[in-house]
Chains A and B, each alone.
Chain A
Amino acid sequence: MSIGRDGIAGLILLAISLFLLVKSFQLPSLPIVPVGPGFYPAIVLSLMATASALLVLQDLLKRRAPAGAVAAPRRNYRRVLIAFAIVGAYVVLLPLLGFRVATALFVGALQAALDRPRTVRQWVVLAAIAFGTAVVSYFVFERYLLVLLPRGAWTGF
Chain B
Amino acid sequence: MLDLLWNGLVNVAHWKYLVPLFAGTLIGVIGGSLPGVTITMTVIVVLPFTYGLDPLAGLAAMTGVYVGGSTGGLIACCLLGIPGSPASIATTFDGFPMARNGEPGRAIWLGVWASVWGGLLGALFLVFLTGPLAAIALEFGPWEYFSLFVLAMAMVAGLGESSLLKGLISTAIGLLITVVGHDPIGSVPRFTFGSTFIGGGFPFLPVLIGVFAFAQIMTDLEKLNSPRGEALQSLANVRLERFSHLKVNLEIFRQPFLLAWSTIVGLIIGILPAIGGSASSVMAYDQAKKFSRTPDRFGKGHPEGIIASEASNNANVSGSLMTIMAFGIPGDAVTAVMLGAMTIHGIQSGPLFISQNPDIAYGIYAAYILAHPCMLLICLALMPLMLRVTSVRMAVLAPVVLVLCVVGAYALNNTMQSVYVLLLFGVVGYVLVKLGFPLAPLILGLILGDQIEINLVRAIMTDANPWLFLTRPISGLLLLAAAGSVALAVWQHWRHQNRVAEEAPDF
Q: A residues within 8 Å of B by Cβ?
A: 5-6, 9, 13, 17, 20, 23-24, 27-28, 30, 33-41, 44-45, 47-48, 51-52, 54-55, 58, 63, 65, 73-77, 79-80, 83-84, 87-88, 90-91, 94-95, 103, 106-107, 110-111, 114-115, 129, 133, 137, 141, 145-150
| B186→A137 contact, CB < 8 A | no
Find the A residue at minimum CB distance from B175. Answer: A44
| A114→B172 contact, CB < 8 A | no
Q: B residues within 8 Å of A by Cβ?
A: 45, 48, 163, 165-166, 168-169, 172-173, 175-176, 179, 183, 185-186, 188, 190-191, 217-218, 221-229, 393-396, 398-400, 402-404, 406-407, 410-411, 414, 416, 419-420, 422-423, 426-427, 430, 435-437, 452-453, 456-457, 460-461, 464, 507
Q: Report which of B188, B218, B225, B420 forms a contact with A91, defined as CB distance below 8 A.
A: B420
The majority secondary structure among interface residues of chain B is: helix
Most buried by B among A17, A36, A44, A90: A44
Contact status of A115 and B393, CB under 8 A, knowing A87-B423, A133-B400 = yes
Given the complex, which residues of A lie within 8 Å of B183, measured CB to CB?
37
Q: Report which of B169, B191, B400, B422 forms a contact with A52, defined as CB distance below 8 A.
A: B169
The 21 sampled A-B contact pairs (Cβ below 8 Å) are A5-B435, A17-B176, A24-B190, A27-B188, A34-B464, A38-B190, A40-B456, A40-B457, A41-B191, A44-B176, A51-B165, A55-B169, A58-B163, A76-B221, A77-B222, A84-B218, A133-B400, A137-B407, A141-B407, A146-B48, A147-B410
Determine how close the nearest CB of chain B comes to the CB of A107; give it in whole angstroms. 4
Given the complex, which residues of A lie within 8 Å of B453, measured CB to CB?
40
| B227→A73 contact, CB < 8 A | yes
Q: How far is the CA of A4 from the CA of B179 in the complex (A)?
A: 30
The majority secondary structure among interface residues of chain A is: helix
Given the complex, which residues of B lie within 8 Å of A84, measured CB to CB?
218, 426-427
Determine how close the nearest CB of chain B comes to the CB of A148; give it in whole angstroms. 7
Determine how close the nearest CB of chain A comes to the CB of B191; give it in whole angstroms. 6
Which 6 A-B pairs give the minimum distances between C-beta atoms? A115-B395, A48-B172, A114-B395, A37-B183, A110-B399, A37-B188
| A133→B403 contact, CB < 8 A | yes
Contact status of A94 and B419, CB under 8 A, knowing A33-B185, A148-B414, A149-B410 = yes
Find the B residue at minimum CB distance from A90. Answer: B406
| B394→A114 contact, CB < 8 A | yes
Most buried by B among A114, A133, A146: A114
Q: How far is the CA of A45 from the CA of B177 in the complex (A)?
A: 11
Q: How far is the CA of A80 from the CA of B453 in the complex (A)?
A: 37
Q: How far is the CA of A27 from the CA of B414 in the complex (A)?
A: 31
Given the complex, which residues of B lie within 8 Å of A106, measured CB to CB?
399, 402-403
Determine how close the nearest CB of chain B comes to the CB of A131; give it in whole angstroms. 13
| A145→B399 contact, CB < 8 A | no
| B399→A133 contact, CB < 8 A | yes
Given the complex, which residues of A lie within 8 Å of B168, measured CB to CB?
47, 51
